[in-house]
Structure 1
Amino acid sequence: MAKSTTMHPCDRVGIDYVETAPHRFANSVDLAVTPDQLFEVFADAAAWPRWARVIRHVEWTSPLPPGVGSTRVVSMLGGLKGAEEFLLWEPGRRMGFRFNAASEKSIRAFAERYDVEPTPHGCRLTWTLALDVTGPGSFFMPLSGVVCNLAFRRFLTNLRRYTDERFATVA
């Protein structure tokens, strides 16, 4: 029998929260794919666990294609679930979302923004993740944040590998 997951409301922050949150992580990667190909990956629920290994499952809970107001539920390692709402969806340019609710009540607010710039050989992705936590987690955030940011950089390395494989061309 499946264990039920209680969801706890998060602050309904705007996309500008990624600039003002108490804990922010921003990393970039150059990808050898077009901005439109990258957004194809973003829209593909099955792709996320392939490069962001903490993600176990993504389920769109609103009709596709995605857009502003679209929703999905993301299940992660350790049983963490986030109910997300997209605040930005500009294919080839940028996207962003926030948690409306999370299975972990210590998550006060959470948002991510993905900014994409065309380059001569594909595109450059800048991923900004922002959050605020309560309780004991807030005390450990300075140290755990360093470890988390290393994992976030690894996710972008994995994204590069995944997009290279997914969009490989035969020479």
Structure 2
Amino acid sequence: MARRLRQVGLDFVDTAPLRLVFTGEITAAPEAVFPALAEDVPGWAEWFSAVKRAWPTDGGAGREIRLRGGVRLEETILLAKEPEVYVYRVDATTAPGLRALVEEWRLTPTATGTRVRWTFAADAPAPLRLTLRLARAGIGRTFRDAMTALERRLTC
């Protein structure tokens, strides 16, 4: 059964007790990357290996995500400013321990494509925050693999 998380706003990306930030560059332009993030929600399962299934809810104002391993997430889109930033809040999840979670995807054009910055901003008890910090390298690898797969998807 999904537990409700604390509803936080956009400022949580900067004020969360735990912030994991990952950056990568891909050759696709921000105008191609943004729709892959914000509009092709089911497509996430094709390029982000942790996502088993994803679909929009509430006429596109939310998302439902199923992760590999069985975790479910119910999300609300907080900001979708094309082609610069896409932010969503997790409102309910089956993942234990989380109190609040917001993820921000910020896109910056470069001479060769797009710099993608993903911020994972969370509030959780100290033991879970420590576990997430220790998992940083693995989460970063998943992000890098996702960027490689997304680039392949967008440039083929």
Q: Same fold (TM over 0.5)?
A: yes
User: 2:7 aligns to what?
Assistant: 12
Shift of 1:16: 1.9
Distance 1:61 1:132, change over 3 A: same
Q: Normalization by structure 1: what TM-score? A: 0.81
User: 2:119 aligns to what?
Assistant: 128
Shift of 1:150: 2.8
Shift of 1:78: 1.1
Matches for 1:17-166 after TM superposition, within 5 Å = 17-42=12-37, 43-63=39-59, 66=60, 70-134=61-125, 137-165=128-156
> 1:54-76 CA deviation, whole Å, 9 max, x = no partner?
1011111122xx4xxx1111110
Report which stretch shifted further, 84-93 or 21-30. 21-30
CA RMSD of aligned residues (A): 1.9
Find the aligned partners of 1:14 and 1:57 in 2 and give their Cα distance: 25
Shift of 1:17: 1.3
Unaligned runs of 5+ residues in structure 2 are: none
Find the aligned partners of 1:145 and 1:119 in 2 and give their Cα distance: 26
> 1:87-107 CA deviation, whole Å, 9 max, x = no partner?
111111111011011112411
Find the aligned partners of 2:130 and 2:117 in 1 and give their Cα distance: 27
Aligned residue pairs total 155
Q: Larger radius of gyration, structure 1 or 2?
A: 1
Percent of paired sites with the same residue: 26
